[in-house]
Amino acid sequence: MSSVNIRKATLEDAEGILKHSKVVFGEGRNLLTTVEEFTLTIEEEEQWIEKQKRANNLVLVAEVHNEIVGMLNATRSTRKRVQHLCQFGISIQEAYCNKGIGSQLITKLIEWAKQDEVIEKICLEVFASNERAIYVYEKYGFVIEGMKKKHIKFEDGTYADEYNMGLSVK
């Protein structure tokens, strides 16, 4: 595979992030948002990127041939008693899975969190059936801290459990 460029998102990435998001939301059952629900405009995506930047949150994109094929966003908790936490989400287009992109994104996230003076723990939620993602998270030291039973309800009436996972960085 061609080399992957991992970098912080810029306002100019809004359109590429939207395209990426539509692809991954349409690909499967491992994300909360459905493709039909995803209706952001380029202007709204630009506003979201700017808001993340102002809040000192982290938004990374993974590019192959100047096309965004993966993304990670980490959001700091703002309430006083949980300000030591950040929550993150990650998405990679299926055609680019199992190529180390997720590992590269998570490595950058952990480096960012360790350098931060406030963040002590990285948290995430993952479908319990998403074994591939859980394997990667556990490889980096994330542990399952709890489960929400029947937390996700699909359009066909079936359910999925969701794990809470965490990694202490300090």
Residues 6+ apart with CB under 8 A from 58: 8, 52, 72, 73, 74, 86, 88, 109, 112
Model pLDDT for residues 85-106, shown as the tens digit of each residue: 999 999 999 999 999 999 999 9
Inform me whether the pLDDT recorded for 34 exceeds 90. Answer: no
Percent of the chain residues topping a pLDDT of 70: 98
Q: What is the pLDDT of residue 162?
A: 97
Backbone angles phi, psi at 162, to 5 degrees: -130, 135
pTM over cut 0.85 = yes
Cα separation values, 40 from 14, 15, 159, Å: 10, 10, 27
Encoded tokens for 104? 């590269």
